[in-house]
Chains A and B, each alone.
Chain A
């Protein structure tokens, strides 16, 4: 929480605009509205608190309403031979009795004190579960996301350049097909083709089963398929949005003006059309984060990737309240941060946007 309690003086003034106007909103000088953006971030952080509280309460309510009984899940197959006494004792020991609001309150108070609790399903402290797995998930998602944005944007621009051309038809056609394909299905297909049919890439895991230490080379090989599948499943949106945005921009006056001035086609395309066509894509970055997380859930499961998403699946089916609450908070944070990031990028990209109004 480093955001400053904002002081009154107009932001962006010190950045060196000569005739600093009182509200530098419509001025696209050297200065960017940094302070306004910081205030936006601070406002969002404040708004996140009630959201997080509500979301965790919701997670506890959902888990309590789910037909899965945490004691049965804990006991596993041994529970099918245990006596009622044993099961009752377990329920008491695991502190699983009482209404979900009570459990939620217990969790919330200890979580605020820094103790995230103990994962019943993985029999580990929740903090340890997250610590061990977070890095692998972030690695997977980050690379896939960057790949999806970059490739999607490139394909979109290429498609928009000659709308209706064979390249455009290929790109849009493929994008629609991929968008309709569920990531786990793509995953199985990729396993079948690359691991089984061609035998060039490992079908899953973090390392070869024989290896113990994670080396960069083997990590890259093992990352290839899950990252590829996740990126491909996210890519169509970016390609389609960019195509639309750029296509629209190409018909606008600034582009025509640029063409009229005899600028090179590449400058026109990337310097003018893409720039204004990217705006809708930026919002997409934020809104795609939930999709990315869902995609990661499926991809991590298919590829036995030891990330946080596969632990989430386990937590959900096992009614593992503490772990479920923690991963829900993480996912919510990811979505909120994603949205904030999109808005900030928007401010950076479009000087007409006023961060104070977001």
Chain B
């Protein structure tokens, strides 16, 4: 008995001694990451829309975005060659890449992915993003050619969407098959478990073509409630989480000694008020211009966003290279009153202006339950009241709001940072007026339409920048939307890794965005 114990102790001793010699490869701090997010992905099937903006962990696109949102090759060996006046995109593919089920990746997989998404039987709500695509063909095993319906300068930005294995989908229903929950990709991680409503567990793909990730295990915990997420982060169950600014601030105050850091990601995530063209009040250019300068954006950033955000003058963030300098608007309620006076909107008995017997009044909707939009809406209405415009703020589900969008204003949101075309075209082009939730204000400005089309057609970046500057200047002249803020996304995480960055984030966030957008490249701090 005694000898057995001694032997055991000796064995334990050797084990303990041998552990450090293995050094950084042994499991230790920093090689697992548990992230708390609010939204669970509906599906992990790229054919149904998963990961279309990149950073899907399990998959790779032909291209990817780096920390500065510049395109870099991923499954493509290099950036595409653009020909035929911007209508043909040719990608040469990386060789020697295999899917996690062992099958090799080649041009057929790319063709299958794009063709299936465009198939009308495929239930992918984002398929409109590939609207420009006419045809995709495999020239040989490692060359894919995309033919477009019209020259489209932003097309390469769309090719970050994940590529699936054609073999894996053989004989499967694209919409209902097991690939919704059991993805097979080429990416840095492999899904090992998904307990719906609770968590997704990923393990590093040791054969990843970009090198095996140092963070070997990645868990995405789904916790809808902000307070509970903060609680579980504080109790150490989570290593990182997305939090509203107010909750994140509680970590900023007492978090430093606990080894937590607060990260604010800049975004293209805007909040704006649509000013419907069909409504005689909001369709009046004078009212639009007056509202545009009457609203105190800095005050909204300060009071509603707790400082976590910036004033917005259009969908393009003020620090984007695409932003047209000089289109910032100064908060000037006095000038707003003058504009209204000059246009014939005279103050009435009740403090609300009138013109030709019509009260300067309209309704502003926000989606019920969205507190951030509610507070934006109330602040906006308060500022409007000061210049004699009466806004009634109401809430409803999108189903309630949709039929009223033509006449009533909506506190809307959106933002796709990858290319200015994505937001500007769908928000402002007259051909998309009230098409689904595109161009909700039914904005109709021929000069803007022309510039938007030029921005798509022009291959040269400077020409495009000029076109989008025109759009932004026109929008300042006739603001069919009052853009209010760009909202920062706030994250709190353990300070255990080097060189943490964030990309400029889109409106939808949680899974592919956040500091963990490139978790495959993270290095534990020593």
Chain A interface residues toward B at CB < 8 A: 67-69, 72, 74-87, 89-90, 93-94, 118, 121-125, 132-133, 188, 191-192, 195-196, 199, 202-206, 208-210, 212, 302, 304-306, 310-311, 314
Contacts and interface: CB of A to CB of B under 8 A. Distances in A.
B221 A205 contact: yes
A77 to B, nearest CB: 5
A36 B197 CA distance: 45
Nearest to A90: B123
28 contacts: A68-B399, A69-B398, A74-B125, A77-B507, A78-B125, A80-B398, A81-B437, A82-B128, A83-B432, A83-B436, A86-B125, A86-B436, A93-B121, A123-B176, A123-B180, A123-B181, A188-B227, A195-B231, A196-B235, A206-B198, A209-B34, A209-B199, A209-B221, A210-B217, A304-B223, A306-B196, A306-B197, A311-B197
Contacts of B217: 210
Contacts of A74: 42, 123, 125
Nearest to B413: A80
Contact of B231 (A93, A122, A192): A192
A205 B223 CA distance: 9
B193 interface: yes
Contact of B399 (A72, A205, A209): A72
B219 interface: yes
A77 B217 CA distance: 29
Nearest to A87: B436
A85 B32 CA distance: 44
Interface string B230-242: 0110110110000
A84 B237 contact: no
Given A67-B397, A311-B197, A78 B237 contact: no
A69 B437 CA distance: 14
A74 B123 CA distance: 9
Given A67-B399, A86-B125, A204 B49 contact: no
Interface in B220-274: 221-223, 225, 227-228, 231-232, 234-235, 237-238
A94 B123 contact: yes
Nearest to A208: B237
A210 B436 contact: no
Given A76-B125, A93-B175, A123-B48, A191 B228 contact: yes
A84 to B, nearest CB: 5
B237 A203 contact: yes
Contacts of B197: 304, 306, 310-311, 314
Interface residues of B, number: 55
Listed residue (A68, A192, A304) with the most chain B CB atoms within 10 angstroms of its CB: A304
Interface of B: 32, 34, 42-43, 45, 48-49, 120-121, 123, 125-129, 131, 175-176, 180-181, 192-193, 195-199, 201, 217, 219, 221-223, 225, 227-228, 231-232, 234-235, 237-238, 397-400, 414, 426, 432, 435-438, 507-508
A191 B238 CA distance: 15
A206 B196 CA distance: 11
A94 to B, nearest CB: 7
A76 B426 CA distance: 18
B231 A199 contact: no
Contacts of A123: 42-43, 45, 48, 175-176, 180-181
Contacts of A314: 197
A197 B155 CA distance: 52
Contacts of B221: 205, 209, 304
A67 B395 CA distance: 13
Nearest to B181: A124
A89 B397 contact: no
B198 A306 contact: yes
Contacts of B120: 89, 93
Contacts of A83: 128, 131, 432, 435-436, 438
A118 B176 CA distance: 7
A74 B122 CA distance: 13
B125 A203 contact: no
Contact of A122 (B196, B235, B438): B196
A72 B231 CA distance: 32
Contacts of B228: 188, 191, 203-204, 302
A98 B43 CA distance: 26
B123 A212 contact: no
Given A86-B125, A89-B120, A124 B180 contact: yes
A192 B121 CA distance: 48
A79 B231 CA distance: 32
A72 B437 CA distance: 11
Contacts of A89: 120
A35 to B, nearest CB: 45
Contact of A79 (B175, B397, B435, B436): B436
Nearest to B203: A212
A77 B370 CA distance: 14
B84 to A, nearest CB: 26
Given A123-B48, A191-B228, A195-B235, A206 B195 contact: yes
Listed residue (A75, A82, A121, A206) with the most chain B CB atoms within 10 angstroms of its CB: A82
